[in-house]
Amino acid sequence: MEKICKFFENLDEFVYVADIDTYEIVYMNRKTLDEYGYSSLDEVKGKKCYEVLQKSATPCTICNNAMLEEGRFKEWRYFNPLLNKHLLLKDTMMQDNGRRYRIELALDATTEEVKNGMIREYQNLEEIVNEGLRLALRAPMPDDSINVLLEYIGKELDCERIYIFEKDDRGYDNNTYEWCTSGVEPQIQNLKNLSPDVCESWYHNFSHDKNIMIEYLEDIKDSNRMLYNVLAPQNIHSLAVVPLYDDGKIIGFYGVDNPPARSLEYSTNMLKIMGHFIVSALKRRDLVKELETMGMTDQLTKLGNRFAMDRYISEIRPESSIGAVYCDITGLKRVNDSQGHIAGDNLIIRASQCLARTFDGYGVFRIGGDELLALCPGISEHDMTALVEKLRTDMPDYNVIMAVGAIWRSSNKESMDRLLSESEKLMYEDKARYYANANIDRRR
């Protein structure tokens, strides 16, 4: 690796090498160091590549590390707003002493771009918007598109933070997305469930087709103390915010904190243009979630189906205690045959409601025609026994009878298939006892 780095040292292109797994910079050639204002490699060695090259607090959303292969170069173009340059990038991967390295060569294509008439200048809104949309549309999912676009806009506008707030069904505002530059503390977890009166003045302006531009936060200290008290702890001294519309209805807002004072109006214009794509991505996100929910939900009972059960199981910590309650709806075939399938469906629904109410807060699923399951991670054996007893006690209230097989383990380190198999076996034993005691032919 050292010999390769020496080869790049005086190359007239930008070159850097970073550890793929840790993002730590191990090398920058002289041209790259000079461009970023560093005098020696020691100033950047060991630092995260995204912190040094993009001034980002998190790995870049456009990072292509996962696509790199030894012996092959991946070529692409990118406008770097920090350098104000169009770059032709060539990326590859190399292994040395058990470590994987990303090697990137970047050619300054700005002059070529200008000559070809592809750009005018950094301030060209159309060019910037198109580049942002191009990057966002490459992302596989709506959430990824939004995050890519926020990162791009944030860097373009040289702001400290960019964010989206969405209004929920209660009228409360929630910070749902954000990007922060390096060194800025994220605020997204602190800005949930803001009551409507906090941003009331903003929404009043939005309803009159006005955007929000605050050049000096201290200017609103007396006129809007409530909003000031929310913004000041975030070290905000200026901001630009625009509304988000869906079919003429305001669904939230998004904005930037602490952009350069000279570009406050420019920032507002860019936000207004990009807002249409942001809303489109939010709607696509909601559609994807709705389709995913449909795919994970039993349509009759609204409980989770087997796909939902598999996902739920995958998220249970191995060291957590676990309880499984396997249920079979007794007499479903008899009801279907004698009263019809509508009555049978109603029986399934009542049984599902009984199980879901008893094990509220845990995972409850319909895993077969007449089979239901409750999974209880983190539950104590005492609480598990009490809930199973409550389930049996509550069944008459729902006019249902279920065979129940319950099992508890102090940890989830054994096979989950084995746990379910054992609880199913106990359920069949309970079912057999019921039919034997009732002297009923199970085939009827």
pLDDT tens digits along 295-319: 999 999 999 999 999 999 999 988 8
- Mean pLDDT over 380-408 rounds to 96
Tokens of 193: 């469930």
Q: What percent of the chain has pLDDT over 70?
A: 94
The CATH code of domain 125-294 reads 3.30.450.40
Q: Please classify residue 207 by burial: count the beta carbons closer than 10 Å to its beta carbon, then call 0-12 exposed, 13-18 middle and 19+ buried.
A: exposed
What are the helix and strand counts (H, E) for the chain? 14, 14
Q: What is the pLDDT of residue 370?
A: 94
Q: Please classify residue 384 by burial: count the beta carbons closer than 10 Å to its beta carbon, then call 0-12 exposed, 13-18 middle and 19+ buried.
A: buried
Task: State the Cα–Cα distance between residues 427 and 51, nearest whole angstrom.
Answer: 56
**Is residue 237 over pLDDT 50?**
yes
Q: What is the pLDDT of residue 124?
A: 60
What separation in angstroms does the CA of 84 have from each of 130, 311, 403, 442? 16, 44, 69, 77
Residues 6+ apart with CB under 8 A from 237: 216, 217, 218, 258
- Mean pLDDT over 40-61 rounds to 91
- Mean pLDDT over 235-264 rounds to 92
pLDDT tens column, 329-388:
999 999 999 999 999 999 999 999 999 999 999 999 999 999 999 999 999 999 999 999
**Is residue 279 over pLDDT 90?**
yes
Tokens of 95: 């292994």
Q: What is the pLDDT of residue 60?
A: 86
Q: What percent of the chain has pLDDT over 90?
A: 65
Tokens of 208: 């009159």
Q: What is the pLDDT of residue 119?
A: 42
The mean predicted confidence, pLDDT, of the chain is 90
Q: What is the pLDDT of residue 122?
A: 42
Banded model confidence at residue 442, pLDDT cuts 50, 70, 90: low
Which sequence spans correspond to the domains of the chain? 2-115, 125-294, 306-438
Cα 35 versus chain centre, distance: 34
- Mean pLDDT over 45-65 rounds to 90
Q: What is the pLDDT of residue 409?
A: 93
The CATH code of domain 2-115 reads 3.30.450.20
Q: Do domains 2-115 and 306-438 have the same CATH topology?
A: no
Beta bridge partners of 164: 177, 254
For the entire predicted model, the pTM comes to 0.59
Task: State the Cα–Cα distance between residues 234 and 38, nearest whole angstrom.
Answer: 30
Task: State the Cα–Cα distance between residues 214 and 256, nearest whole angstrom.
Answer: 11
Top-confidence residue, 122 or 42: 42
What separation in angstroms does the CA of 80 have from each of 26, 74, 77, 209, 430? 21, 18, 10, 33, 67
**Is residue 86 over pLDDT 80?**
yes
The amino acid that residue 432 corresponds to is A
Give the best-scoring range by mean pLDDT among 70-84, 126-140, 193-207: 193-207
**Is residue 29 over pLDDT 90?**
yes
Helix (H, G, I), strand (E, B) or coil at 280: helix
Task: State the Cα–Cα distance between residues 184 and 161, nearest whole angstrom.
Answer: 8
Top-confidence residue, 285 or 140: 285
The amino acid that residue 401 corresponds to is I
**Is residue 190 over pLDDT 70?**
yes
The backbone torsions φ and ψ at residue 155, rounded to the nearest 5 degrees and listed phi first, read -70, -40
Top-confidence residue, 125 or 164: 164
Name the superfamily (CATH) of residues 306-438: Reverse transcriptase/Diguanylate cyclase domain (3.30.70.270)
DSSP string, 340-395: -HHHHHHHHHHHHHHHHHHTTTSEEEE-SSSEEEEEEET--HHHHHHHHHHHHHHG
pLDDT tens column, 103-142:
999 998 876 655 554 344 444 666 777 788 888 878 888 8
Which of 8-17, 120-129, 243-252, 371-380 is the least confident region? Answer: 120-129
Task: State the Cα–Cα distance between residues 147 and 277, nearest whole angstrom.
Answer: 12
Burial profile 171-182: b = 16 or more Cβ within 10 angstroms, e = fewer: ebbebbbbbbbe
Task: State the Cα–Cα distance between residues 70 and 274, nearest whole angstrom.
Answer: 38
Task: State the Cα–Cα distance between residues 127 and 424, nearest whole angstrom.
Answer: 62
Q: What is the pLDDT of residue 356?
A: 97
